[in-house]
């Protein structure tokens, strides 16, 4: 069974840092792109970052670039999101998701974790 479990969220003061983790199981983690998506209270889904299966390519949303780093450890079947200089507006539930590329060239995120809450407040 495919599973992804996020951890590392919590309450942090503005300007602080957090490292989110996503533990994947039930599939060959090293074969898939992965992404982080967040949802702030009362807002829509926002794509945050993605990373190629071997970690050689990463992309970030413009509003967070320079403050976040996505990484992965394929030996540990784990995805990470390092967040620095956190702001109140970064408060959100952060989801990790597997990005699948089907044989016909289609793309979509077919498995998601349940999310980890990040709250930035003084």
- Give the Cβ contact number of residue 36 at 10 Å: 27
Whole-angstrom Cα distance, residue 44 to residue 7?
A: 21
Of the two residues 44 and 75, which places its CB atom closer to another protein in the complex? 44
Burial class (CB in 10 A: 0-12, 13-18, 19+), 106: exposed
Whole-angstrom Cα distance, residue 103 to residue 95?
A: 25
Decide: is 8 part of the binding site for another protein (CB under 8 A): no
Decide: is 83 part of the binding site for another protein (CB under 8 A): no
Decide: is 95 part of the binding site for another protein (CB under 8 A): yes
Query: In the range 35-74, which residues lie near another protein by CB under 8 A?
Result: 35, 37, 39, 44-47, 50, 57, 59, 61-62
Query: Closest distance between another protein and the C-beta of residue 90, in Å?
Result: 17
The token pair that represents 34 in the structure block = 């992965």
User: In sequence order, what are the beta bridge partners of 24?
Assistant: 4
Decide: is 113 part of the binding site for another protein (CB under 8 A): yes
Q: Which residues lie near another protein (CB under 8 A)?
A: 35, 37, 39, 44-47, 50, 57, 59, 61-62, 95, 97, 99-100, 102, 104-110, 112-115
């Amino acid at each position: 069974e495919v599973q992804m479990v996020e951890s590392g969220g919590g309450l942090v003061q503005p300007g602080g840092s957090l490292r989110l983790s996503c533990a994947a199981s039930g599939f060959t983690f090293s074969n898939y792109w992965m992404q982080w998506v967040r949802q702030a209270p009362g807002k829509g889904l926002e794509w945050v970052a993605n990373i190629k299966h071997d970690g050689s390519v990463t992309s970030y949303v413009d509003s967070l670039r320079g403050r976040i780093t996505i990484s992965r450890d394929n030996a540990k079947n784990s995805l990470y999101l390092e967040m620095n200089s956190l702001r109140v507006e970064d408060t959100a539930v952060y989801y990790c998701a597997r990005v699948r590329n089907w044989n016909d060239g289609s793309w979509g995120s077919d498995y998601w974790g349940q999310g980890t809450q990040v709250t930035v407040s003084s």
